[in-house]
Structure 1
Amino acid sequence: MLYFDPQTGLYAESVEDVRQSVRQGWKDAFRRDGLPELNTEPETPAGQLIDSQTAAIVDKDNEVLFLGNQFNPLTASGVWQDALAKIYFLTRKTAQTSEATCVCTGLQGTLITQGARIKSSADGSEWVCAETVTIPATGSAQARFQALTPGPLTAGANTLTQIVTVTPGWDAVTNPAAAVVGRDSEGQMEMEQRRYASVAANSRGSVASLYGALANLPDVLDVVVLENTGSDPIVSWGVSIPGHSIWISIVGGDESSIAETIYRKKDAGCGTAGNTVVTYQDTDSPGMPQYTYQIERPEPLPFGVKVVVALTPTTPQDIEQQIKDAVLSEFNGVGAHGNPRIGMAQTVYASHFYCAVISAGAQNLTSIELSAPVSDDAWSDSVTVNADRSPVLDVENIQVILQK
């Protein structure tokens, strides 16, 4: 039976209380003068029917409790979460593409156009240049490439090495760090965080407003917005922010859409800072003025995870591969525990991976340590990710040490 508490909501009887209630109902139904009480022990036919009826009632109660939780934005999932999001004019983001920062080498002045393709030497997947770049006098230029196929496609360091779109003067390409992995559809926790942040998206001028609007743009995998309201530069999350300015670090997203969002959400007179210039032209105003903003396109931050496990007689034979798969999925926000991806401007703790490693079959977990950037001499229980670095994890940088 279900009950309602105004303070806590719906709750159900325990399984044993339900079974006792069903058992008593059967005894009352079969009670006759001069006859013994019905035997309801589990091994009897009556006991078997009672257990089946109890299970049906408990299943029904659980379904009703589940339904009740779907009206809470914090616990809603699936189509129920989609329905609540509609109130905020939000829709779940579909599969998003992985993104890698590549170094293109060639002749000075060579133009690598947006849409140029390269291929992975590991799995043959094709990646598309997200911007037009010109190779400078140094002979190499960085360019963002996005996977042609949406979803959580991985690309280890130095695997995007084959040029598909032949361009005179473009000699070689590679990705020094692993790609920022995309995802299938947006997960429950990620969508709830975006819904929470989107409450401010309808406002203007605040950091929360700008973050909420940028996070809702298609193909944005991660975004950080920092602010300095004073007149002197400050350092926050490892980056220097000029006075009266905002710092926008963003992974993915179309630059013209980003510029338009900044134009519509940023107050006049507020400066911007970053390593990339984006522009927006207001065609609805007289003279069609053009506005220029700076954003940060963060460099990859190679991440390392070291897991030490004590072997037992029941440890799975493929425990090393299972742990690597679990850690990689948890890092990229596509794991079974629903945690968001590891992103910019945050402190990452080793405990983030505990549940994933244990669920993979590590019965005697000894330790988990992190390193960023990866270094054999710099392992610790936590690492801080600056706002201008986008953490990426290559499966080759996941160490699993099995102790006998």
Structure 2
Amino acid sequence: MSSSDATTSVPAASLTDAGFVAPAETDILAGVLADITAALGGNVNQALTTPQGQLAQSETAIIGDCNDRILSVFNGIDPRTASGRMQDAIGFIYFLTRNTGEGRADFEYRRQNSVGANSQGMNASVLGSLLSVPGVTDAYVVDNQTSQDTAIGGVAVSAHSIYCCVAGAATSASIGLAIFQKKSPGCGYTGSVSVTVQDPAAVYNGNGPFYSVKYDEATDTPIYFVVQIVNSSSVPSNAASLVQSAIVSAFTSGEETVRPRIGGTILAGRYYCVVGALGDWAAVEEITIGTTAEAGEMKVGLNINQAPSISAANITVELV
């Protein structure tokens, strides 16, 4: 390549069926060095310690940073990986705004389920509607289609009724309306909380009939952890607080594999990587969980009226 050619040896990024693909920075560096060599007439010392080598590294870093930023934009418009302001923008498409204190995974969970809120008469319709209520942090919806009272997920659900369990700080009026507007006509309710709802349909001109809607407020269920770390000279003095913070963060705002919800099953094994990611010193011997301080189980199954909670005080760290 001559210095007058309007070409470059730097490999270009590309858009493929798999998305945006950026070249490796080692290949970018090789291309930049080739360009500099050609521009200076050839036979240039390409050692990175030379002035031209330093310039080549700087140019490579600039190109690499630009590619990284383009990649972040592409990732930002994918609901599966979007975060921060880009995820907020996706949420606005669904008329959703982020609740105070929820993370990327929680917001995406609400967005996914909000799609069902566009439908009517299905459990997914009610669930999506509930998760769109300001203040609702989690919900569970199931119905009993049989003619007899039936135990479902540890809860007795009346015949031909829908059961809704809600966690968070939303008003009973907003929860009741969200349920009423999406459940099928004639369907009964099961729940310990009763709220009177007026049918808001415009056809009634403000004089719609009143209905009694029932639902349950989720029972806060603390989850306890016992984490055993192999003792060594590399274990820091604040190991316990580091482990506690990592588990609390994953438990409350982590991805779906570790973020427990109403009626879910919590696996102790999901948290090995969470602790192990703290560093080489965090060699996990064992992690057990439970609903009491003994925390001697490998998994905990929650009823559909239980919302799991976590606090650092309920996480015991042992050096073994």
Using the size of structure 2 for normalisation, the TM-score is: 0.88
Pairs within 5 Å for 1:281-300: 281-282=198-199, 285=204, 288-300=208-220
The runs of 5 or more residues in structure 2 that have no matched partner are 1-11
Q: Which residue of structure 1 lines up, in the alignment, with residue 4 of structure 2? A: none
Q: Which residue of structure 2 lines up, in the alignment, with residue 321 of structure 1? A: 241
Pairs within 5 Å for 1:3-402: 3-6=14-17, 8-31=18-41, 37-93=43-99, 95=100, 184=101, 186-252=102-168, 253-282=170-199, 285=204, 288-333=208-253, 341-361=259-279, 362-371=281-290, 373-376=291-294, 379-402=296-319
Specify whether residues 318 and 338 from structure 1 end up closer, same or farther in structure 2 by C-alpha distance, changes over 3 A only. Answer: farther
Question: Would the aligned equivalents of 1:228 and 1:246 in 2 still touch at CA under 8 Å?
Answer: yes
Question: Would the aligned equivalents of 1:188 and 1:338 in 2 still touch at CA under 8 Å?
Answer: no
Specify whether residues 3 and 283 from structure 1 end up closer, same or farther in structure 2 by C-alpha distance, changes over 3 A only. Answer: closer
How far off is 1:340 after superposition? 7.2
The runs of 5 or more residues in structure 1 that have no matched partner are 96-183
Specify whether residues 357 and 72 from structure 1 end up closer, same or farther in structure 2 by C-alpha distance, changes over 3 A only. Answer: same
Q: What is the DSSP-based 3-state SS (H/G/I as helix, E as strand, rest coil) of the residue aligned with 1:332?
A: helix
How far off is 1:339 after superposition? 7.2
* Cα distance between partner residues in 2 of 1:273 and 1:340: 30
* Cα distance between partner residues in 2 of 1:306 and 1:189: 25
Q: What is the DSSP-based 3-state SS (H/G/I as helix, E as strand, rest coil) of the residue aligned with 2:142?
A: strand
- Match of 2:46, as an amino acid? T
How far off is 1:298 after superposition? 2.4
Identity over aligned pairs, percent: 32
Q: What is the DSSP-based 3-state SS (H/G/I as helix, E as strand, rest coil) of the residue aligned with 2:248?
A: helix
1:185-205 C-alpha deviation (Å, 9 max, x unpaired) = x32221111111111112211
Specify whether residues 55 and 359 from structure 1 end up closer, same or farther in structure 2 by C-alpha distance, changes over 3 A only. Answer: same
- Match of 2:86, as an amino acid? W
* Large movers: runs of 4+ above 6 Å: 337-340
Specify whether residues 388 and 264 from structure 1 end up closer, same or farther in structure 2 by C-alpha distance, changes over 3 A only. Answer: same
Question: Would the aligned equivalents of 1:249 and 1:296 in 2 still touch at CA under 8 Å?
Answer: yes
- Match of 1:217, as an amino acid? V
Q: What is the DSSP-based 3-state SS (H/G/I as helix, E as strand, rest coil) of the residue aligned with 2:53?
A: helix
- Match of 2:210, as an amino acid? Q
Specify whether residues 78 and 339 from structure 1 end up closer, same or farther in structure 2 by C-alpha distance, changes over 3 A only. Answer: farther
* Cα distance between partner residues in 2 of 1:386 and 1:29: 71
> How many residue pairs get matched?
304
- Match of 1:326, as an amino acid? A
More strand by proportion, 1 or 2? 1
Using the size of structure 1 for normalisation, the TM-score is: 0.70
Question: Would the aligned equivalents of 2:258 and 2:270 in 1 still touch at CA under 8 Å?
Answer: no
* Cα distance between partner residues in 2 of 1:211 and 1:17: 50
Q: Which residue of structure 1 lines up, in the alignment, with residue 3 of structure 2? A: none
